[in-house]
Amino acid sequence: MGQTDLRPKGTPVDTLNADGTWDRLGSIALLLHQAANQVWSDADRATADSPLHDLGLGVYLAHCQASALLPDDYVLPDDYVLPDDYVLPDVDEDAELEERTPLQLLTEAEELTRPLPLHRPDLVHGSQLVLDLCDLIREARGLGY
């Protein structure tokens, strides 16, 4: 019997990078990092038993989830950059990240997850990130953000 050559043929294409998936995930990670910092800043001014501490931890863990989905060699950009096809709902596009509320940042992060190809093996854990973001948005709304 002859052996079948199983090596890929042609030029390899990184389809996830070609459609901007890594940049989208990088933007999500930056949004979540900023949201966590803002929530914890608010929690520092609140009482020790404030639910803001829990929310801050949840947002930080979501940031870690998004970062873990990125390839090891991916470098997060210094600035938040929206994908070309994304339109911000009810948010001033020129507003700096620091001027947005944690709820706005969480909502933007969740909306950026919508076109992600979560069926791909590299992003199979992305579904949990989406669910966690929806839970965090609900919790932030419940806390009056």
Domain span including residue 87: 20-142
Domain assignment present for residue 55? The answer is yes
Domain assignment present for residue 60? The answer is yes
How many H helices and E strands in the chain? 5, 0
Predicted confidence band at 43 (pLDDT cuts at 50, 70, 90)?
Answer: very high
Domain assignment present for residue 24? The answer is yes
∠ Cα 142 108 13 (to 5°) = 140
d(CA 75, CA 63): 15
Residues 68 and 25 sit within 8 Å (Cβ to Cβ): no
Predicted confidence band at 51 (pLDDT cuts at 50, 70, 90)?
Answer: very high
Residue 51: both structure tokens together: 């639910």
d(CA 17, CA 54): 34
Domain assignment present for residue 127? The answer is yes
Helix, strand and coil in the chain, % to nearest 5: 55, 0, 45
Q: Which residue has the tokens 């966590």?
A: 36
Domain assignment present for residue 102? The answer is yes
* pLDDT exceeds cutoff 80 at 49: yes
Predicted confidence band at 90 (pLDDT cuts at 50, 70, 90)?
Answer: very low
* pLDDT exceeds cutoff 50 at 92: no
Q: What is the mean pLDDT of residues 14-27?
A: 72
Q: How many domains in the chain?
A: 1
